[in-house]
């Protein structure tokens, strides 16, 4: 009886055209604020970032043959490392092409890390990867990434504390008390509210919008080889692997639950495609980085929206990607986005960047990391100190060591990996199965 009252679309199903367009527009609205915010913070071109997001999504859907319906958007995890390269400290300031090109090389290279992880998982299984990258490392890196951005959030908010505080509190209230689809739009609502109160405050100048071309091509740039930027950006891909994996397991639960309720009697083995998912993520990074977009990942916001609306159609995401690319050609859209005051973005960023850090804590809690084990404490403590101390203690987060300058986050990640290999060598390379990598923990939580 219950199945008669349930409607939805599985990955291999296609909604009617009018529904397809509406569902696609909703996915774009969910993705838009965070993806554009990354461009504004890193100095990348907004129109190019949108185009890259859509193109990378098409690449992801193609590589995964539509079996993993997820949308690719710009990742917050890379912001600090990219800003250290582009040198951008002012919201909305576009970096020189030469510096963007250097960052692009690192982004393309980071895609290789995800692809390599996917191939390793396909070859050896996820358990092997967990030994080298246990939650003590991935969780700690996520904490460092989030908190290293705290200074940027507070600096932007200081432009107008009253507006920043209003936006911050409103966004928090939206995320806590709004339910259903509205509950997935707190960032968008926060930006709209902040923008509305900024107009009478005289913080917005619409002249740039009026002077912008209606149609314009995104500003494409090509990567330029720079191994220092590759070293700075590549290790961050390690921190995005647990997040991307969690999305995959959640998607598996949602899709198969809907299939059962719809009476399809078909099992979608999405959770078994972890390696393919990471390869798709890597391909997305390479596509985005090649045309001039930031590094990214599959978006949890879009996944949650699909779960609420019970629409997991892969063709719907293809439509959303194509519409996103079309929007990037509208010059006035990019100009309008650039009029958003820094205080508005700062108020939202205080919340968003903190959430990234909290997710790192959540990773370790969900994997039941033993905080009383001296090995774990040593790994976590050194990653946090090197990553955060390096980010705040030295200009651009570059640590001067023996005449060289090492990027704080990448150095912390690599140090943690080496430390884990040394301290847990017997369990990683031996036959001892008593590993503190949460091997037997239920990852579907």
Mean pLDDT of the chain: 86
The pLDDT tens digits for 119-134 are: 988 888 777 777 877 8
What is residue 149's DSSP assignment? Answer: T
With a cut of 70, list the residues of the chain below it in pLDDT. Answer: 1-5, 180-181, 184, 431-445
The pLDDT tens digits for 288-322 are: 999 999 999 888 778 877 887 788 999 999 999 99
The full length of the chain comes to 445
What is residue 436's DSSP assignment? Answer: S
Report residue 291: phi and psi, to 5°. -90, -10
The pLDDT tens digits for 172-191 are: 999 889 876 677 678 888 88
Number of H helices, E strands in the chain: 20, 4
What pLDDT sits at residue 442?
A: 40
**CB 295 within 8 Å of CB 72:** no
């Amino acid at each position: 009886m219950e199945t008669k009252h349930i409607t939805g679309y599985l990955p291999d199903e296609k909604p009617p055209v009018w529904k397809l367009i509406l569902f696609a527009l909703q996915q774009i609205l969910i993705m838009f604020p965070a993806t554009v915010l990354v461009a504004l913070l890193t100095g990348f071109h907004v129109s190019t970032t949108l185009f890259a997001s859509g193109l990378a999504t098409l690449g992801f859907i193609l590589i995964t043959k539509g079996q993993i319906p997820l949308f690719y958007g710009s990742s917050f995890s890379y912001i600090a490392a990219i800003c250290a390269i582009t040198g951008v400290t002012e919201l909305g300031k576009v970096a020189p092409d030469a510096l963007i090109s250097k960052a692009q090389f690192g982004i393309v290279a980071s895609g290789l890390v995800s692809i390599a992880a996917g191939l390793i998982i396909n070859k050896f299984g996820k358990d092997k990867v967990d030994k080298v990258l246990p939650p003590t490392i991935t969780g700690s890196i996520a904490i460092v990434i989030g908190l290293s951005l705290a200074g940027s959030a507070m600096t932007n908010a200081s432009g107008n504390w009253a507006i920043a505080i209003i936006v911050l509190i409103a966004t928090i209230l939206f995320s806590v008390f709004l339910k259903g689809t509205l509950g997935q739009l707190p960032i968008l609502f926060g930006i709209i509210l902040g923008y509305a109160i900024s107009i009478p405050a005289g913080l917005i100048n619409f002249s740039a919008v009026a002077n912008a071309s209606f149609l314009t091509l995104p500003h494409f740039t090509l990567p330029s080889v720079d191994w220092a930027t590759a070293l700075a950006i590549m290790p961050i891909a390690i921190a995005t692997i647990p997040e991307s994996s969690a999305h995959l397991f959640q998607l598996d639960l949602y899709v198969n639950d809907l299939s059962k309720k719809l009476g399809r009697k078909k099992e979608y083995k999405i959770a078994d495609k972890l390696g393919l998912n990471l390869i798709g993520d890597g391909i997305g990074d390479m596509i985005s980085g090649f045309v001039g977009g930031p590094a990214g990942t599959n978006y949890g916001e879009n996944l949650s929206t699909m779960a609420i609306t019970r629409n997991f159609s892969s063709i719907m995401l293809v439509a959303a990607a194509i519409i996103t690319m079309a929007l990037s050609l509208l010059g006035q859209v990019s100009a309008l986005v650039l009029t958003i005051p820094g205080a508005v973005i700062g108020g939202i960023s205080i919340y968003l960047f903190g959430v990234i850090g909290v997710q790192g804590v959540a990773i370790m809690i969900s994997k039941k990391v033993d905080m009383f084990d001296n090995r774990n404490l040593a790994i976590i403590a050194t990653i946090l100190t090197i990553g955060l101390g390096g980010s705040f203690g030295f200009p651009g987060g570059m640590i001067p060591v023996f005449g060289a300058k090492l990027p704080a986050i990448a150095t912390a990640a690599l140090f943690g990996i080496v430390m884990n290999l040394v301290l847990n060598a017997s369990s990683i390379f031996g036959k001892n199965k008593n590993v503190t990598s949460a091997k037997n923990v239920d990852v579907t939580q």
